[in-house]
Chains A and B, each alone.
Chain A
Amino acid sequence: MMKPKKLYLIIESALLALTAGLLAAAAVRMYVHGAAQIASGDLFYYIYTREKVGAALLHLLPLICATAVFTVAGWVLGIRDESAGKLVAMDGIDAKESVKKAVPKKTGRRERILQSTILILAIVLILLGIWNGGMGDVFDKGAAICTECVGLG
């Protein structure tokens, strides 16, 4: 007999996966339909519009709400994967070696020299970048919307 908590976690997982899957499917369906329209000769067919996206989200609203309710209820009831807090095996990791390699509290001379060198180098590079227009490039990119970067087009 499955424990109620485990069952709850499985239902929650299924709801989440279903929501994500249907959101993805809605976008793919919209794209496939739009691409077919464009291929049929409609040069100015808009695959996505605010109205179409709104309608698709409206269809999924009950599922999204159910997932949200389940999630909040899970939090309130304190249902969680108990095994998540447990320790994991150190597959292939030697604990003694791990201690030796850990970053020590006392910074060694070598580390301090490395820190200082990189710090100075970084400042020099930044100044060089300001001089050669690299800083301006960052502004140029950031001041306008990069439609490709965000997936708009």
Chain B
Amino acid sequence: MMRAADTKMQTGNERVRMDMEKETIDSGERKEKAGAHAQPAYGTFTRRLVQLYAALLYNANLKGFLDGHIYSGPLKSVCVPGFNCYSCPGAIAGCPLGSLQNALNASGHTAPWYMLGILALFGVVLGRTICGWICPLGLIQELLHKLPVPKIKKSIVTRCLSYLKYVMLVVFVIAIPVWYGINQGIPLPGFCKYICPAGTLEGAVGLLQNKANATSFYQLKLLFTQKWVIMLIIGLACAFCYRSFCRFLCPLGAIYGFFNRFCVVGVRVDTDRCNGCGLCVRRCQMDVKHVGDHECISCGECMGSCAQGAISIQAGRITLAGPVSGKHADPEPVIQKRRKLGRIAWGVAIAVLLFALAWFNWIEPAQEAAKTPKPDQTAAAHSQTETQSSEKADAKPAAAAHPETEAQSSEKADTKPAAAAHPETETQSSEKADVKPAAAATGTIGSEVGDLLPDFRTELLGGGQFQLSDYRGQVVILNLWATTCAPCIEELPYYEKLKVAHPDVEILAIHHRAGAKKAENFLADKGWDHLDIALDSKEKGLFSLLGASDAMPQTIVLNKEGKITYNVQVPLTYEQLEELVSQAS
């Protein structure tokens, strides 16, 4: 029995060995033998161009890399098909995986129909063709694989590892966000937070490389260290093993893989021509078992291996790419027609790219700048308030009424007269019994430590108004936050506690303009009665007035003179807040 099994195994091994010997002849000889192999591996160059094109189009907001700010226009409400971090300074649209996690986070109160629909749409049209052709992370992995190091070939081990991405999908993309979203009320995108190398590379490194985000370094702690190490490991693995992240870890690939068998665009086999040699599967660097399965990224590399010319890339019934040489090549007029259509498609694509570059870097910023309320208008409204509330009409209004102007134009005046910064202070102070008269406020207007923060007025949630200058003589803390920011939500109860402990300290939590309307619902059941909450909007522009970035949470502490003693984008502990208050008092 044993001998029979051994003999059978030996015969099997022998067959594989012979098969290997037969097939591992060098490619030149093989081309000669196969006849049809004069055809180069299809379109590697074309595919590379498409990948570069997609990466550039997804990140058309090039000015973001220069000014260190992300794009926050309306296009961020849609997703690109490939893996591209939405916190990358260049990104013009959302990341499908990040958005899915966010939608699942919110699934306790909003069904994630939108993201499911988007993913189903991308999946049924393109499937994993997205991975092979229009995923920037795929491009990065392929370029890393070009490094001249020994390569690890696919095997049964890598095929087993390829199922790991389904574990990633279930645990990090579905379970963690749903659990934290429903049970804890905290938006925690598990995959983004703990694994995603695209976030670290495009988002973190993309933002940190800019000097404008120098204070963002202060936020970096264990999470960054861990993600940095993970990114390096994945990057190194990609050099040795083809598309390691894509094959073993990418949950987006796992999702698109479900659609691969019936998606509209993809690699297809002409079963009448196929002789079952299996060269396509053996040549493929992905862990496919057959052409077009859930691991196939429709890169088309197998087309060059097929002596029968049986493989083509189809969009429904339309052939996008087929055999162009050898005895099974498509007819010359068909090839010519396809090339002509290809040239037209490239023309349109380049026009779209040029338009996108012009739109995101020049046209839209110019329109936004035109729409933004002029500093003079704000200042005029402000000075009106001053005239009504103060008898000090003669208190050097020229410098007094326009601090915002100076802040927004980022011109720093050298020194201003004492009363100049906020003339209404004394009037307001005299109305408050427990507030000491304002100290002489001199200094530059700005958002750095030691500067006087520009005065502003805003409506409070639940009624009333907040005017910064009203609180001269008190320590003021401004907290910039958003409901989509988990560290912000974890930090807010500390502010509530601080306000209870220090009633004399004014704390204003300003919500980012994105999702401001939902903040009311969010706050309804929190019971944070002591905090003053304001909602920013595009029209108010409080964040930009305060010189804040889009990275949250940010805390600005003002001392009794109205000068900034602390302004950092970092989540704080209660002890740190206590310390900041005692420093500012």
Q: Which of B117, B484, B550 contacts A126 (CB under 8 A)?
A: B117
Residues of A near B24 (CB, < 8 A) are 86-87
Flag whether A4 is at the interface (Cβ < 8 A): no
B553 and chain A: residue at smallest CB distance: A147
Residues of B near A102 (CB, < 8 A) are 269, 271, 274, 290-292
Please indicate which of the listed interface residues A53, A79, A125, A152 has the most CB atoms of chain B within 10 Å of its own CB. Answer: A152
A119 touches B121 (CB 8 A): yes
A149 touches B98 (CB 8 A): yes
A149 touches B77 (CB 8 A): no
A99-B276, A153-B220 known; A44 vs B576 contact (CB < 8 Å): yes
Residues of A near B149 (CB, < 8 A) are 9, 12-13, 16, 81
B117 touches A141 (CB 8 A): no
B224 touches A153 (CB 8 A): yes
A87 touches B93 (CB 8 A): no
**In chain A between 68 and 87, which residues have their CB closer than 8 angstroms to a CB of chain B?**
71, 74-75, 79-81, 83-87
**In chain B between 86 and 103, which residues have their CB closer than 8 angstroms to a CB of chain A?**
86-87, 91, 93-95, 98-99, 102-103
Residues of B near A79 (CB, < 8 A) are 148
A44 to B579, CA, bound (A): 9
A100 to B125, CA, bound (A): 23
**In chain B between 523 and 579, which residues have their CB closer than 8 angstroms to a CB of chain A?**
549-552, 569-571, 573, 575-576, 579
Flag whether A122 is at the interface (Cβ < 8 A): yes
Q: Which of B87, B239, B261 contacts A146 (CB under 8 A)?
A: B87
Residues of A near B269 (CB, < 8 A) are 99, 102-105
B484 touches A50 (CB 8 A): no
**Pairs A-B, 6 closest by C-beta atoms:** A129-B114, A125-B117, A150-B203, A134-B114, A103-B292, A74-B148
Q: List 16 A-B contacts (CB under 8 A).
A: A20-B232, A27-B224, A81-B150, A83-B153, A87-B24, A91-B159, A93-B289, A104-B269, A122-B120, A138-B114, A144-B514, A146-B203, A148-B188, A151-B193, A151-B204, A152-B220
A92-B156, A104-B271, A140-B482 known; A149 vs B85 contact (CB < 8 Å): yes
Q: Mark B382-413, 1 if CB is under 8 A from A, else 0.
A: 00000000000000000000000000000000
A44-B576, A46-B218 known; A152 vs B551 contact (CB < 8 Å): yes
A14 and chain B: residue at smallest CB distance: B149
A141 and chain B: residue at smallest CB distance: B102
A61 to B222, CA, bound (A): 24
A149 touches B317 (CB 8 A): no
A27 to B205, CA, bound (A): 13
Residues of A near B484 (CB, < 8 A) are 140-141, 144, 146
**In chain A between 31 and 56, which residues have their CB closer than 8 angstroms to a CB of chain B?**
31, 34-35, 43-44, 46-50, 53
Chain B interface (Cβ < 8 Å from any Cβ of A): 16, 19-20, 23-24, 27, 70, 72, 74, 76-79, 85-87, 91, 93-95, 98-99, 102-103, 106, 110-118, 120-121, 123-125, 146-151, 153-156, 159, 188-189, 192-193, 196, 199-200, 202-204, 207-208, 211, 214, 216-229, 232-233, 235-236, 239-240, 259-264, 266-271, 274, 276-279, 281-283, 289-293, 312, 314, 316-317, 482-487, 512-515, 518, 549-552, 569-571, 573, 575-576, 579
A75 to B103, CA, bound (A): 44
B228 and chain A: residue at smallest CB distance: A27
A143 touches B514 (CB 8 A): yes
Residues of A near B270 (CB, < 8 A) are 104-105
20 additional contacts (CB under 8 A) given A50-B217, A53-B217, A144-B552: A8-B148, A46-B217, A50-B214, A80-B148, A85-B27, A88-B154, A96-B276, A98-B278, A129-B113, A134-B112, A135-B78, A137-B114, A138-B99, A142-B86, A146-B86, A146-B87, A146-B98, A148-B189, A149-B87, A152-B204
A39 to B355, CA, bound (A): 53
Flag whether A1 is at the interface (Cβ < 8 A): no
Residues of B near A24 (CB, < 8 A) are 228-229, 232-233
B579 touches A142 (CB 8 A): no
A41 to B103, CA, bound (A): 39
Residues of B near A99 (CB, < 8 A) are 269, 271, 274, 276, 278, 290
Flag whether A124 is at the interface (Cβ < 8 A): yes
Residues of B near A96 (CB, < 8 A) are 276
Residues of B near A12 (CB, < 8 A) are 147-149
Flag whether A28 is at the interface (Cβ < 8 A): yes
B275 and chain A: residue at smallest CB distance: A99
Flag whether A128 is at the interface (Cβ < 8 A): yes
A101-B293, A114-B262, A139-B77 known; A48 vs B224 contact (CB < 8 Å): yes
Residues of A near B74 (CB, < 8 A) are 139
A105 to B328, CA, bound (A): 15
A92 to B281, CA, bound (A): 12
Residues of A near B27 (CB, < 8 A) are 85
Residues of A near B70 (CB, < 8 A) are 143-145
**In chain A between 17 and 33, which residues have their CB closer than 8 angstroms to a CB of chain B?**
17, 20, 23-24, 27-28, 30-31
Residues of B near A85 (CB, < 8 A) are 27
Q: Which of B113, B226, B312 contacts A105 (CB under 8 A)?
A: B312
B579 touches A147 (CB 8 A): no
Flag whether A65 is at the interface (Cβ < 8 A): no
Q: How far is the CB of A87 from chain B (nearest CB, A)?
A: 4
Residues of B near A124 (CB, < 8 A) are 117
Q: How far is the CB of B197 from chain A (nearest CB, A)?
A: 10
B550 touches A144 (CB 8 A): yes
Q: How far is the CB of A32 from chain B (nearest CB, A)?
A: 9
A27-B229, A50-B217, A99-B290 known; A149 vs B514 contact (CB < 8 Å): no
Q: Which of B72, B222, B551 contacts A147 (CB under 8 A)?
A: B551
B99 touches A142 (CB 8 A): yes
B77 touches A142 (CB 8 A): yes
Flag whether A2 is at the interface (Cβ < 8 A): no
Q: Which of B156, B192, B208, B289 contacts A98 (CB under 8 A)?
A: B289
B515 and chain A: residue at smallest CB distance: A140
Flag whether A66 is at the interface (Cβ < 8 A): no
A12-B147, A132-B110, A153-B221 known; A146 vs B189 contact (CB < 8 Å): yes
B114 touches A90 (CB 8 A): no
Residues of A near B279 (CB, < 8 A) are 87
